[in-house]
């Protein structure tokens, strides 16, 4: 049944109001036509309108229905957030509350001051939540506080195939499944230890510096004694998130300000069938990440130069401790199979715990994890921390 709305503008040519779904609309009246701008929160099959010279008019929206996904919350043209899409997102993750105060209260009431993917899924009636940010689709994985007390929402890229055809290096573009090597392409033997920059140390990886466009130093050979410096690329698929000009970076919190990435991630305790801890899970130094539970001290990179460089990254790969591997061991974030699965294997930042040549990807089914040489190609699915407190205050 078509839904009809009638409005009388305060002055000829402009009006605003809200329909029964709470969706905001604006109208402009001309002598021959009425232009109706409908928020991204609805989809409309057909619009018909009529009006008279006094400015009174009627319009009919046929097929009005709420969208299954949250619309893009970032407006590239104005470098600001879309209030209605943001309200929609906050409502889905907080059981309909839709405002920062309610979300803050929800986190405060949790004994650990953290809300997991499973919690947000339950808040949304068991339906997976997807949000568009910067043109890509993301899945919300975690609500917590940063070290300054801001509410941060951790988002993980949902589908690497959205990167198809986009640049990630000065001369490289992503293929149909959005894959890249973890390091700069050299083949690592895995039996070389006590070297300055292990091939699977994430802080000095090609993935961190170049592919995700954070810039910084990365190793170009297994026995490298110095790093190659990468500068950020304005044409990168991730430039909007990592470069200051786009405006969005101002609302992203880096891992340096997140205590649960500095220390406390223990893959041995979180992941079944894993006998020891893994490199790159935490960025803290040896006082925060002791040798305990590592295969040997050689694979704890806490004191190596560059190990913690990723704590300044705007985009980063998640760890196995964060994502989990299956529904039995679903990690700190308590992710679902739907969140973990992808069109192909997805790289994690977690390095192999007893060979410097390897790192772990999740399988495409989202139900397991595997081990590959860091020169292999797998999907790139970065994550970020969105400062919800700052976002809400900007509106």
pLDDT of 132-185, one tens digit each?
A: 999 999 999 999 999 999 999 999 999 999 999 999 998 999 999 999 999 987
With a cut of 60, say whether residue 359 has pLDDT above it. Answer: yes
Nearest one of 202, 176, 222, 236 to 312, comparing CA atoms: 202
| Chosen domain end from 13, 32, 66 | 66
Whether 46 and 195 map to the same domain: the answer is no
pLDDT class for 190, splitting at 50, 70, 90?
low
| Cα distance between residue 390 and residue 56, in whole Å | 41
218 and 235 assigned to the same domain: yes
SS3 of 248, please? helix
Q: What is the mean pLDDT of residues 263-289?
A: 94
* Residue 190 shares a structural domain with residue 326: yes
pLDDT at 51: 52
Of 378, 389, 375, whose CA–CA distance to 153 is shortest? 389
Same domain, 39 and 100: no
- Write the DSSP string, 114-177: -EEHHHHHHHTTT----EEETTEEEEEEEEEE-TTS-EEEEEEES-GGGGTT-EEETTEE--TT
Provide the percentage of residues in the chain whose pLDDT is more than 90: 74
Do 73 and 56 meet the contact criterion of CB atoms below 8 Å apart?
Answer: no
Phi, psi (deg, nearest 5) at residue 338: -60, -40
- Measured N-to-C along each axis, helices 100-109 and 83-93 cross at an angle, to the nearest 10 degrees, of 20
What's the pLDDT band for 45 if we cut at 50, 70, 90?
A: very low
- What pTM did the predictor assign? 0.84
Q: Which structural domain range is residue 46 located in?
A: 3-66
Q: Could you tell me what percent of the chain has a pLDDT over 70?
A: 82
- Output the 3-class SS for 10-61: CECCEEEEECCCCCEEEEEECCCCEEEEECCCEECCEEEEEECCCCCEEEEE
Tokens matching residue 367: 């139900």
Q: How many domains does the chain have?
A: 2
- 51 plus 81 within the same structural domain: no
Q: Are residues 62 and 99 in the same domain?
A: no
- Residue 347, pLDDT score: 98
CB 49 within 8 A of CB 38: no
Q: Stretch 350-369: mean pLDDT, rounded? A: 95
Does residue 356 register a pLDDT over 50?
Answer: yes
Give yes or no: residues 47 and 177 share one domain. no
- Do 89 and 25 belong together in one domain? no
- Hey, what are 27's tokens? 């109208």
Contact predicate 272/327, CB 8 Å? no
Distances (CA, A) of 145 to 136, 154, 255, 332: 24, 10, 12, 15
């Amino acid at each position: 049944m078509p839904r009809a709305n009638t409005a009388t503008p305060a002055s000829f040519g402009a009006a605003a109001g809200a329909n029964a779904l709470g969706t905001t609309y604006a109208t402009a009246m001309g002598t021959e036509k009425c232009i109706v701008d409908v928020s991204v929160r609805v989809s409309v099959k057909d619009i018909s309108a009529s009006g008279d010279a006094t400015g009174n008019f009627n319009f009919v929206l046929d097929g009005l229905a709420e969208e299954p996904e949250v619309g893009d919350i970032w407006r590239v043209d104005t470098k600001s957030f879309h209030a209605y899409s943001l309200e929609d997102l906050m409502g889905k993750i907080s059981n309909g509350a839709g405002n920062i105060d309610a979300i803050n209260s929800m986190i405060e009431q949790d004994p650990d001051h953290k809300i997991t993917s499973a919690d947000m899924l339950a808040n949304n009636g068991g339906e997976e939540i997807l949000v568009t940010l910067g043109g890509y689709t993301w899945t919300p994985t975690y609500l917590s506080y940063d070290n300054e007390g801001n509410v941060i929402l951790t988002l993980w890229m949902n589908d690497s195939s959205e990167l198809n055809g986009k640049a990630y290096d000065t001369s490289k573009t992503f293929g149909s499944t959005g894959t890249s090597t973890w390091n700069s392409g050299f083949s690592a033997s895995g039996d070389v230890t006590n070297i300055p920059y292990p091939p699977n140390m994430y802080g000095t990886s090609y993935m961190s510096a170049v592919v995700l466009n954070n810039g910084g130093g990365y190793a170009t050979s297994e026995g490298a004694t110095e790093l190659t410096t990468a500068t950020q690329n304005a044409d990168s698929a991730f430039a909007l998130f990592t470069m200051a000009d786009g405006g969005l970076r101002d609302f992203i919190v880096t891992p340096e300000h997140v205590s649960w990435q500095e220390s406390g991630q223990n893959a041995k305790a979180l992941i079944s069938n894993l006998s020891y801890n893994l490199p790159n899970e935490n960025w803290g130094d040896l006082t925060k990440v002791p040798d305990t539970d590592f295969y040997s001290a050689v694979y704890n990179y806490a004191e190596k130069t560059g190990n913690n460089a990723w704590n300044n990254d705007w985009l980063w790969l998640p760890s196995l401790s964060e994502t989990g591997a299956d529904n039995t061991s679903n990690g700190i974030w308590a992710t679902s199979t739907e969140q973990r699965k992808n069109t192909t294997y997805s790289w994690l930042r977690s390095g192999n715990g007893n060979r410097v040549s390897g790192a772990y990807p999740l399988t495409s089914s989202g139900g397991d994890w595997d081990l590959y040489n860091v020169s292999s190609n797998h999907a790139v699915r970065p994550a970020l921390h969105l400062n919800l407190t700052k976002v809400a205050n900007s509106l």
